[in-house]
Chains A and B, each alone.
Chain A
Amino acid sequence: MRGNRNILIIPAILAGCLLLVGWTDSWEQVRREAAHIQSIHAQFTQKKQMAILSKPLLSQGQFFFQAPASVRWEYTAPVKSILLMHQGSMKRYINAGGGFTEEAEGRLPAMEMVMQEISAWLRGQFDESRYFTATLVSKPFPRIILTPKEKSFARLIKRIELTPSPQPGVLKAILIVEDEKTTTLFEFRAVQVNQPIPASVFQVPQ
């Protein structure tokens, strides 16, 4: 797998993971819960930890999902950025101070692969992912552990851990482990499920 595909799959993973709200202890239940989800809106905080950093690098943003396959992954600080997946296209927009501009499309050649993965996740089919082996873990606390199948990918990401909130239907955190000293933790709050989302959310940002 080439690196640019690896780059792309990160936001796709994040989008897909949020669709796992309501999962419990079996893949069948995950699929049943996923079938009921029409929309999600959540705020998130991203904490990047590396050995080189004395304190985590913090980012904030919000996430929208609308069935069947529209996603907006938006950073509000420190860099304003929006990743839009909508109607089969995937684009990133950056606001460097003069409004949003589209980022280089050269980084998006693996869109088909990403969309296939998302499509599977939308159906709760994490255990059928082409790129990850998914394991449901109950101890010491409930998690889904995603482990890359391809060696080239595993060199870049060791595993991804999904932690549900005690509140039913809400995902608490996603931890991406690149190595034991390099992690990215996404913590979610104010998660709203099946609330109406304006169509403009998935259109080109102004």
Chain B
Amino acid sequence: MSRSEAKKIFERPRSHFPKVLIHLLLKPAAALGLIFIAFVMTACSSLPEIKPPGPGLQPILLEWCQSIFPDAPHQFVHAIEARLPDDSRATAMGIVTLDPARGIIHCVIMTIEGFVLFDARYQQAVTVNRAVYPFDSPEFAESMMADIRLVFFPPGKALVTTGVLDKGFPGCRWQTADGLAVDVLLNQRLGWVIRQYDTSDHISRQVRAYALNPEGIPEKIELSHYKFPSYTLKMTLLQVERLPQGDGRLN
């Protein structure tokens, strides 16, 4: 069975959707992505059961789950709208340069006027090159890098299982080095959701990626942090560049 055939198996049949959603399926892909995300969001707020996939599907599912993460050095530029705990909003631009093979992240956050607020590099540990209040705390730097790792890097080497969640979405479950569970939930056309759970198996962070461009890169990403201080980052892709191996900007 090919990977595309396997994906079709996991495409949720339309007949299972309520009528209103069938109607919305005729809308643009971005709307579909939101529906998918809404489904996943309401699926469960704690660690859900994953049912085993059909025979022979486990490696295909794993490959699919891993395919959502960049497999080569890339640079992403996003417009970022932050929704803060008091429901206020702030906007910035973000540049993320990363090398998945070496686990390197270089992150820059700047104002729309181009003033650099935060510039840091991660390779096993965070090195802050520049940080302007209120982005100057070590906790912010650590949390920022954790957010970026969750969005762009596979969750860990310890794959727990692959299968189908209770709402019918295929996915994979990893365990991080810290012992936390991370689920990746997939939809072939609409995007994906990444959930990180805390030690009590409640969702602590969630990434929703949708509006995929022709290369399969999400033009919209929403990252929600549910623990205090809770926030949501809405990221809109402005430009993306695949970098050559050994690019000097990653050294």
Give the CA-CA distance A57 to B111 in the complex, in Å. 12
Is residue A94 within 8 Å, beta carbon to beta carbon, of the partner chain?
yes
Min CB gap A202→B, angstroms: 19
Which of B112, B133, B134 is the one whose CB lies under 8 Å from A75?
A: B112
Chain B residues with CB below 8 A from A94, complex form: 81, 89, 91
Nearest-neighbor residue (CB-CB) of A101 within chain B: B89
Determine, out of A21-29, A35-43, A45-53, A161-169, the stretch whose residues face the partner at the interface. Answer: A45-53
Given the interface pairs A6-B132, A156-B132, A184-B113, the reply to whether A106 lies near B81 with Cβ below 8 Å is: no
Given the interface pairs A94-B81, A96-B81, A103-B90, the reply to whether A2 lies near B112 with Cβ below 8 Å is: no
Nearest-neighbor residue (CB-CB) of B249 within chain A: A52
Is residue B77 within 8 Å, beta carbon to beta carbon, of the partner chain?
yes
Min CB gap B99→A, angstroms: 13
Is residue B173 within 8 Å, beta carbon to beta carbon, of the partner chain?
no
Determine, out of B11-19, B32-40, B114-122, B152-160, the stretch whose residues face the partner at the interface. Answer: B114-122
A contacts with B, residue count (CB < 8 A): 35
- Are A54 and B89 in contact, CB atoms less than 8 angstroms apart? no
Give the CA-CA distance A78 to B130 in the complex, in Å. 25
Is residue A182 within 8 Å, beta carbon to beta carbon, of the partner chain?
yes
Min CB gap A55→B, angstroms: 9
Give the CA-CA distance A11 to B113 in the complex, in Å. 7
Is residue A14 within 8 Å, beta carbon to beta carbon, of the partner chain?
yes
- Are A3 and B88 in contact, CB atoms less than 8 angstroms apart? no
Give the CA-CA distance A75 to B112 in the complex, in Å. 8
Give the CA-CA distance A103 to B113 in the complex, in Å. 15
Chain B residues with CB below 8 A from A199, complex form: none
Q: Mark A47-74, 1 if CB is under 8 A from B, else 0.
A: 0101111100101000000000000000
- Are B88 and A96 in contact, CB atoms less than 8 angstroms apart? no
Is residue A105 within 8 Å, beta carbon to beta carbon, of the partner chain?
yes
Is residue A79 within 8 Å, beta carbon to beta carbon, of the partner chain?
yes
Give the CA-CA distance A2 to B135 in the complex, in Å. 11
Is residue A107 within 8 Å, beta carbon to beta carbon, of the partner chain?
yes
Which of A50, A59, A104 is the one whose CB lies under 8 Å from B90?
A: A104
- Are B113 and A46 in contact, CB atoms less than 8 angstroms apart? yes
Chain B residues with CB below 8 A from A137, complex form: none
Nearest-neighbor residue (CB-CB) of A157 within chain B: B115
Give the CA-CA distance A7 to B112 in the complex, in Å. 10
- Are B93 and A79 in contact, CB atoms less than 8 angstroms apart? yes
- Are B91 and A106 in contact, CB atoms less than 8 angstroms apart? no
Chain A residues with CB below 8 A from B81, complex form: 94, 96
Q: Mark B114-144, 1 if CB is under 8 A from A, else 0.
A: 1111000000000000101111100000000
- Are A3 and B132 in contact, CB atoms less than 8 angstroms apart? yes
Give the CA-CA distance A178 to B81 in the complex, in Å. 24
CB proximity to A under 8 Å, residues B30-80:
75, 77, 79
Nearest-neighbor residue (CB-CB) of B243 within chain A: A54
Given the interface pairs A52-B97, A52-B249, A78-B238, the reply to whether A184 lies near B114 with Cβ below 8 Å is: yes
The 10 A-B pairs with the shortest beta carbon distances in the complex, nearest first, are A3-B133, A3-B132, A104-B88, A184-B114, A48-B114, A10-B113, A79-B79, A94-B91, A104-B90, A10-B115
* A-to-B contact residues, CB < 8 Å: 2-4, 6-7, 10-11, 14, 46, 48, 50-54, 57, 59, 75, 78-79, 81, 92, 94, 96, 101, 103-107, 156, 176, 178, 182, 184
Beyond the given A3-B135, A156-B115, please list 4 additional residue pairs across the A-B interface where CB-CB is below 8 A: A4-B134, A6-B132, A10-B113, A156-B132
